[in-house]
Amino acid sequence: MIDHLNSILITIIVLGTQHYLSTRNNPYLGGILPAGYIIFISFFFTKLVSGYDKFSSFFMIIAGLTILLGIWASGREKLKKKRQKELDRIELENL
């Protein structure tokens, strides 16, 4: 039970960190976790998983990467909307 709670807590922290980094001005900050994920999985994939498990693990890897990249894309979109909203507000003040 404790292992599951630790896994859930780590997942929440990673996803929250990814969201935070994705909404910063520098777009490359949001790429840190997906790049680290690819490096980590590439390094340990061949050592930890063998046989039939490689097939099912491959889909888990793709799902994790898709989630991280999806959060990155949504964070960039959120930042873009925030900037546009600020520009619209400034434009209204100048009128």
Other Cβ atoms closer than 10 A to 33: 20
Task: Confirm if 15 and 71 have CB atoms less than 8 A apart.
Answer: yes
Radius of gyration of the chain (CA): 18
For residue range 40-94, list pLDDT tens digits in order. Answer: 887 777 666 555 566 677 788 888 899 999 999 999 999 999 999 999 999 988 8
pLDDT of residue 46: 66
Integer Cα distance of 7 and 13 in angstroms: 10
Query: Which residues, 6+ apart, have CB-to-CB distance to 23 below 8 Å?
Result: 30, 75, 76, 78, 79
pTM given for the model: 0.79
